[in-house]
Amino acid sequence: MRQLRASERAKGIEYAIRDVAVPAAELERQGHRILKLNIGDPVAYDFDTPEHIKEAYIGALREGKNGYSPSYGIPSLIDAIVGKERSQGCDVTTDDIIVGTGVTEVLQMLFASMLSPGDEVLIPGPSYPPYTSYVRFYDGTPVSYHTDEENGWQPDLDDMRSKVTDRTKAICVINPNNPTGALYEGSTLRAIMDLAGEHGIPVISDEIYDKMTYEDQVVPTAQTGSDVPLMVLNGISKVYIAPGWRIGYVAFRDPSGALDDVKDGVQRQARARLCPSHPAQVAFQAALEGPQDHIAQTNRTLMQRRDIALKRIGEIEKLSSAVPGGAFYMFPKIEDPDLQDDKALVLDILRKKHVLFVHGSGFCTQYGKGHFRMVHLPPPELIEEAFDRVEEYFRERP
């Protein structure tokens, strides 16, 4: 029988975070214990979804909320999202919210709606891989703009400006950032919004880590430019420690109606895929409207673990790291000029020391190379053990 070939667009999708898990799984099958610092899932370590949110999910199941829900989201959740966004300066109504199966699905629907062949999207370099993959999937061109490691991975406004063209359809901002943990300054965000307004370009602002910060708080993008069309992405996965429930949303802040056609395209896709998980939406509403005290405790724990990881990285001559201000990632730099093949290094550390990171070039071939991403989610003893092994690895190299 003739073999059916996968499409070129499907072959073009890469996801470095899970791709490196394949060789790790093989080592596990051989009986090795792998210390996993690769995936941004708090529940995989010693964090747990707050009880009142779990109870809301269980209650929804028991109350029979197991059928299809409205395609754009249940009204009570949409009301809660509007309340959250307005509290952060984002002037939206219930007609401006579309709930999806996680932020990733919403992002996919956005790019499917807004891109035609050859359109360009400005994306931070380095960046969460689906931004690049999905732009290409819909025949667009991802354009990475430089973020400055020496300045805490803040976006380089001069570089961003130089890359704006007549084909630029959107500027993407991820704040706090994945994979660097950078927390963008308010002045930086204002400059980005000014640039977008100058050229009539909308901004996509990924704020999934918005409450996971340390010394400083997030400045919501909506507060830095009121006239620029804005698409805010957020969800339950990170701050509310429920990544497996897959509920996210997009909020269209669009005072001029410039995004009406794009929103209609997303709504059409939302109707075609029926709806997100009904009980998980009920739980997300409980998360937004219920107690928030777990957030401060989570941040204290993450900050402690961040500082342990930074200390251990600083003790290894061939590594360095900027200090992350939010999320739960850091993006160490490989200082040895002979070790700039970051993927080969990550796989060699995995093979020899059974510690799993993600190669930096998987987040941007230009601005991520020579780095690797790690999470500082694990308990202190696991972080210490992992870096004992990494330190041993570098000590044993010729």
Phi-psi region of 130 (alpha: psi -120 to 50; beta: other; left: phi over 0): alpha
pLDDT of residue 17 exceeding 90, the answer is no
pLDDT tens for 176-207 read: 999 999 999 999 999 999 999 999 999 999 99
Q: Does domain 8-48+293-396 have CATH number 3.90.1150.10?
A: yes
Q: Does domain 67-289 have CATH number 3.40.640.10?
A: yes
User: Would you state the pLDDT for residue 8?
Assistant: 82
Higher-pLDDT residue of 356, 7: 356
CB atoms under 10 Å from CB of 40, counted, come to 21
pTM of the prediction? 0.95
Angle 156-17-182 from CA coordinates, rounded to 5°? 30
pLDDT tens for 39-67 read: 999 999 999 999 999 999 999 999 999 99
The residue assigned the tokens 């600083």 is 314
User: Would you state the pLDDT for residue 245?
Assistant: 97
User: Would you state the pLDDT for residue 146?
Assistant: 98
User: Would you state the pLDDT for residue 3?
Assistant: 83
H-helix or E-strand spanning residue 26: helix 21-29
Q: How much is the average pLDDT of 158-171?
A: 98
User: Would you state the pLDDT for residue 286?
Assistant: 98
The residue assigned the tokens 């870096």 is 387
Domain residues of the chain, as ranges? 8-48+293-396, 67-289
Q: Which residues contact 82 (CB under 8 A, 6 or more apart)?
A: 92, 93, 94, 96, 97, 251
